[in-house]
Amino acid sequence: MKRVYHKIRGSHPGFIGIELPNEYDVILLDEENFNAFRSNQKYNAVNLEVNDHYCHFEKPIDGSWHLLIEGESNIFSPKDIHIIYKAA
């Protein structure tokens, strides 16, 4: 698996849309769980569904959050990922 990390800082309400291949997985983690993930420890995350090459969710407004986008190494390319911020 190859992966891309993207940090989201809370503050203003809004939405995040991600254009990407359906074969990729998208996971949302808060700061504590992201650090646990990176340390190979047990963590809790929100798995976000990708439909029709798009993933959409409400942006967290409190704290720091991380998007983890991963896919099989033979098809994974960060150039296929487009993150779009929209104000509420």
Does 40 have pLDDT greater than 80? yes
| pLDDT on residue 66 | 96
- The span from the CA of 3 to the CA of 12, in Å, is 27
**Does the pLDDT at position 88 exceed 90?**
no
Domain count for the chain, please give it.
1
**Structural domain of 44:** 2-87
Helix (H, G, I), strand (E, B) or coil at 80: helix
Mean pLDDT throughout 53-70? 92
Output the pTM of the full model.
0.88
Q: With left for phi above 0 and alpha for psi between -120 and 50, is residue 39 left, alpha or beta? A: alpha
pLDDT in tens, 11-27: 788 899 999 999 999 99
Q: In which residue are the tokens 């992201």 written?
A: 34
Structure letter (DSSP) for residue 76: -
Q: Percent of the chain, pLDDT > 90?
A: 75
